[in-house]
Chains A and B, each alone.
Chain A
Amino acid sequence: MKQTVDVIVIGAGIVGAACAYYAARAGLTVAVVDRAGPVAGTTGAGEGNLLVSDKSPGPELDLALLSTGLWRDLAAQLPQGIEYEAKGGVVVAADETQWAALRSAAARQAAAGVTTREVPAQRLRDLEPHLAPGLAGAVHYPQDAQVQPALAASRLLHAAIGSGAVLHPGEPVTQVVVTPRGRIDGVRTPRRELRSPAVVNAAGPWSARIAELAGTTLPVMPRRGFVLVTEPLPRVVRHKVYAAAYLADVTSDSAALHTSPVIEGTPAGPVLIGSSRERTGFDRSLSTAALRRMALDATALFPVLAEVSVLRAYHGFRPYLPDHLPAIGPDPRVPGLHHACGHEGAGIGLAPGTGLLLAQALRGEEPAVDLAPFRPDRFPTPSPPA
């Protein structure tokens, strides 16, 4: 069976859903293909962070600010709930050194358009009553927000389908079809052949494989993270609270295990506890080392959580690129191939901006944010094996 569409999106996670949504609303015919179902990969394992607080001035912050506004619109427009909460983030400094570094980082962010509020030590408990004593201070970021990622992705997908997009779940892409002159011509799955002049690679941590199928390279690697989910509690954590140490971990290049506390309550009651990051390939085994460090981190920040039970632990694989920036836009090496992947731990937050920029690129419009820093061909081509 052959069908022709304007664009094929590979991946039904949050980024693929956002690409499909904005492309379909721009009038393009869209097919979404996923080897499993919606949100089967990284999106289903995410916390739903919509953060500006963890980003330094630069292209990623520009994308985050664009996305923050789009999420607010989406929360109002999508017919069913996505558990959007404009709860704000609180970054806490453990000591005077961290506090000084945090304040100067916040000042630079403020200059780039981020709303920041310094919270001195003695006022911390007004903001978060259960924080441990002895912290040096914090910065409150009211723009930080949260969604339930699986709901958000599925509602976006549903809205895209309402605008004419077609979803093909359970169909792995087995071939990216390229014309003899090197242009994208479509994809094959075990069940169908889809023809299209444009293919969007939104396969998250599996994006390197799709790039390879299209005859090029993109060095996306999985970076594993665990999330702990507690029993439902009354609201003991009001904001998204994380330690200033997180900022250093996010941009670390080390393969070893890093943890830093990211703690938040949810509308349904459970408290979510992150974060760990380690490069272990697609290893799905439980890491007691990660659990131990996360539990120590979390109870140091919120001692009240010590006797609370963790009901579940789950892991996900962040799609990670060496310079910690995503790849967004057309790939000049394979005309018609587009990428929307490599968002690492920020994919939920950056999805709508990514989807909008990609739809603009597909229609040949001027993108709302300069795509140059996100060029997919910015990495050196690996030399062929000798």
Chain B
Amino acid sequence: MPTSPAEPPAAPYDVAVVGAGPAGLAAAATAADAGLTVALVDDGPRPGGQYYRHPAPGLGARRPQALHHGWPAFVGLLGRLRAHRAGGRVRHLTERQVWTVQEAHDHPGRWTLHTAPTVPPQAAPRPGEPTTGEAPHETVRAHRLVLATGTYERQLPFPGWTLPGVVGAGGAQAMVKSGLVLPGRSVVVAGSGPLLLAVAATLSAAGARVPRVLEAGGYLSYAHRPGPLLRNPGKIAEGARHAAALARRRVRLSTRTAVVRAHGTDRVTGVTVARLDEDWRPVPGTEQHLPCDALAVGHGLVPQLELALELGCQTRTAPDGTPAVMVDAALRTSVAGVWAAGETTGVGGAPLALREGELAAREIAAAARGASAAGWTTAGLRARVARLRAFADLMAEVHRPGPGWTGWLREDTEICRCEEVDAAAVRAAADTYGATDTRTVKLLTRAGMGWCQGRMCGPAVSCLAAGSGRAPVSADRRPLARPVPLARLARLPEPAPPRPDEHT
């Protein structure tokens, strides 16, 4: 039942949406359109997430849309969001991270989101007493939950990947979109996945030279499965647009090719590239040197599932080897009262995320009102989502790392940068002690124990431990989704004493 915005702020929201990227924004705006009250929690200062990144107002960018496709859709969402915020239906909590979600013991089906301010990791700890009493918005309560928690980039290490000037492909794009800063003047783009073409287009549009785009997979593989392509003509057009943009700027795309080493002392000065066989093993004798002053590299995206996993949502291994939350046609997870949308359900791109956000919100509105009273059907939207998902799965399969990529590692190649653990140490843990999972490798080597909590090294550790470069990225439970200051934990509300009629 929708509650009126005039109720005291302590009343639970109808919906809490975690993440303000395309899926979260669409979910929040659609839910509010339907008359529900919404808390939208996001770690960024401005809506848009990783996809609709845009410069801070102080930078004075006049045409951020020049770097974006689908900008009008975003502007439309922002307008709706603004109106709903003014109307009191949406509360947008910016720069806050949800570190855990709990179901209330006394109110099954009611969620409590515990949040903390987004703290830059480099912030130095300073002494101080914990204050008592919670700050505003430290906890958010809601009847229904939408997880739209987005992704991080999959990195596969190679010798030299820790050199300054080697940046994530998504990171390079974010630098340009939000800071209008280029990672270098001559930027090689490498890795795998459709993001590479977009990154190369963004970089060259912003004035960088992109000597080569190196795709480890083979785009020809798409042709083996024409069905999903034909049913998604928009995707062909999107690919063609990137390809045309790159051709105009004379950027060369090589498939089945990878950077196997970055060179330089203080900074990257060039890379060695090699052809890959079908299994992604570097083919000896095909090495070539490419000079550059930056390398943007990434192997697709990995859904961020900490909250979903801690809530107990069932997952699947997507065709790209990454874990994704399992959802039904209405985007319900296996946990009652929890929906998921966007990359959380499997990497599929912004157009799919926008529709999934909208679909989740419409399904929630229907559930909140009783389906018969809804008066609108979600059948058409469900069909569109299913069609786009089929294409996403095809794409995911094409770009899944092959079993042989570990062939470009050397024994001394650093795998975990935070804790400085090399490939030899990870392999030794697997071979000597039978550590075949990321948790045991972590315990024996410290790989994954640092600031990034395994986001950077996790996919590679999974592969080395399993002895195959094709091993799925493991979905490790992490009770704290984000780092939390001790003082924040100390301010948690005291749990209510059990009610007398309860058997404990």
In the complex, how many angstroms separate the beta carbon of B105 from the nearest chain A beta carbon? 10
In the complex, how many angstroms separate the beta carbon of A339 from the nearest chain B beta carbon? 24
User: By the criterion CB–CB under 8 Å, are B433 and A38 in contact?
Assistant: yes
Number of B positions contacting A (CB below 8 A): 43
Q: Is A303 part of the contact surface with B, judged by Cβ < 8 Å?
A: yes
Q: Is B247 part of the contact surface with A, judged by Cβ < 8 Å?
A: no
User: By the criterion CB–CB under 8 Å, are B485 and A307 in contact?
Assistant: yes
**Which of B181-189, B270-278, B486-494 is the contact stretch?**
B486-494
Chain B: CB-nearest residue to A233: B125
User: By the criterion CB–CB under 8 Å, are B485 and A44 in contact?
Assistant: no
Q: Is B62 part of the contact surface with A, judged by Cβ < 8 Å?
A: no
Tell me what chain B mostly uses at the interface: helix, strand, loop, or mixed: loop
**Which of B14-22, B439-447, B467-475 is the contact stretch?**
B439-447
Known: A306-B129, A307-B126. A150 touches B444 (CB 8 A): yes
Tell me what chain A mostly uses at the interface: helix, strand, loop, or mixed: mixed
Complex Cα spacing A291 to B102, Å: 13
In the complex, how many angstroms separate the beta carbon of A168 from the nearest chain B beta carbon? 9
- Which of A39, A294, A313 has a CB less than 8 Å from the CB of B479? A313
Chain B residues near A273: list those with CB within 8 A: 486
User: By the criterion CB–CB under 8 Å, are B485 and A169 in contact?
Assistant: no
**Which of A102-110, A151-159, A191-199, A323-331 is the contact stretch?**
A151-159
CB within 8 Å of A: which B436-495 residues: 436-437, 439-440, 443-444, 446, 449-451, 453, 477-480, 483-490, 492, 494-495
Interface hub of B100, B446, B479 (most chain A Cβ within 10 A): B479
Complex Cα spacing A189 to B404, Å: 33
Complex Cα spacing A315 to B130, Å: 24
Chain A residues near B478: list those with CB within 8 A: 312
Chain B residues near A298: list those with CB within 8 A: 486
CB within 8 Å of A: which B297-336 residues: 310
Q: Is A1 part of the contact surface with B, judged by Cβ < 8 Å?
A: no
User: By the criterion CB–CB under 8 Å, are A286 and B440 in contact?
Assistant: no
Complex Cα spacing A288 to B437, Å: 28
Q: Is A289 part of the contact surface with B, judged by Cβ < 8 Å?
A: yes
Known: A268-B446, A311-B453. A37 touches B490 (CB 8 A): no
User: By the criterion CB–CB under 8 Å, are B484 and A310 in contact?
Assistant: yes
Q: Is A296 part of the contact surface with B, judged by Cβ < 8 Å?
A: yes
In the complex, how many angstroms separate the beta carbon of B131 from the nearest chain A beta carbon? 9
Size band of the A side of the interface? 35 or more
Q: Is A377 part of the contact surface with B, judged by Cβ < 8 Å?
A: no
- Which of A37, A230, A295, A314 has a CB less than 8 Å from the CB of B433? A37
Complex Cα spacing A157 to B487, Å: 40
Complex Cα spacing A228 to B439, Å: 17
User: By the criterion CB–CB under 8 Å, are B127 and A303 in contact?
Assistant: yes
Known: A44-B440, A169-B434, A292-B490. A315 touches B479 (CB 8 A): yes
Complex Cα spacing A296 to B440, Å: 31
In the complex, how many angstroms separate the beta carbon of B486 from the nearest chain A beta carbon? 5
Q: A174-207 toward B: CB 8 Å interface, digit per residue (1/0)?
A: 0000000000000000000000000000000000
Chain B residues near A230: list those with CB within 8 A: 486
User: By the criterion CB–CB under 8 Å, are B440 and A295 in contact?
Assistant: no
Complex Cα spacing A38 to B492, Å: 36
- Which of B121, B435, B480, B490 has a CB less than 8 Å from the CB of A299? B490
User: By the criterion CB–CB under 8 Å, are B483 and A288 in contact?
Assistant: no
Q: Is A309 part of the contact surface with B, judged by Cβ < 8 Å?
A: yes
Complex Cα spacing A306 to B131, Å: 10
Q: Is A372 part of the contact surface with B, judged by Cβ < 8 Å?
A: no
- Which of A232, A268, A286, A305 has a CB less than 8 Å from the CB of B486? A305
In the complex, how many angstroms separate the beta carbon of A102 from the nearest chain B beta carbon? 25
Q: Is A101 part of the contact surface with B, judged by Cβ < 8 Å?
A: no
In the complex, how many angstroms separate the beta carbon of B142 from the nearest chain A beta carbon? 17
Q: A227-255 toward B: CB 8 Å interface, digit per residue (1/0)?
A: 01111110000000000000000000000
Chain A residues near B485: list those with CB within 8 A: 306-310
Q: Is B372 part of the contact surface with A, judged by Cβ < 8 Å?
A: no
User: By the criterion CB–CB under 8 Å, are A288 and B102 in contact?
Assistant: yes
User: By the criterion CB–CB under 8 Å, are A289 and B433 in contact?
Assistant: no
Chain B residues near A286: list those with CB within 8 A: 100, 102, 310, 479-480
Known: A37-B440, A288-B102. A308 touches B492 (CB 8 A): no
Complex Cα spacing A306 to B130, Å: 6
User: By the criterion CB–CB under 8 Å, are A289 and B486 in contact?
Assistant: no
Chain A residues near B492: list those with CB within 8 A: 288-289, 291-292, 295
Q: Is B432 part of the contact surface with A, judged by Cβ < 8 Å?
A: yes
Complex Cα spacing A44 to B442, Å: 10
User: By the criterion CB–CB under 8 Å, are B440 and A39 in contact?
Assistant: yes
Chain B residues near A100: list those with CB within 8 A: none
User: By the criterion CB–CB under 8 Å, are A311 and B433 in contact?
Assistant: no
| A-B residue pairs in contact (CB < 8 Å), sample of 29 | A37-B436, A38-B434, A38-B440, A150-B440, A150-B444, A151-B443, A157-B433, A228-B486, A286-B479, A286-B480, A288-B102, A288-B114, A289-B495, A292-B492, A292-B495, A294-B489, A299-B130, A303-B127, A304-B127, A306-B486, A306-B490, A307-B126, A307-B128, A307-B485, A310-B489, A312-B449, A312-B453, A312-B479, A314-B479
Mark A residues whose CB is within 8 Å of B: 37-40, 44, 150-151, 154, 157-158, 167, 169-170, 228-233, 268, 270, 273, 284-286, 288-289, 291-292, 294-296, 298-299, 303-315
Known: A231-B451, A270-B449, A310-B486. 17 other contacts (CB 8 A): A39-B440, A40-B440, A44-B439, A288-B495, A292-B489, A292-B495, A294-B489, A295-B489, A296-B130, A299-B486, A306-B128, A308-B125, A309-B125, A310-B485, A313-B480, A314-B479, A315-B479
Closest 10 CB pairs of A and B: A295-B489, A150-B443, A292-B492, A295-B490, A309-B483, A306-B487, A169-B434, A286-B479, A289-B495, A308-B125
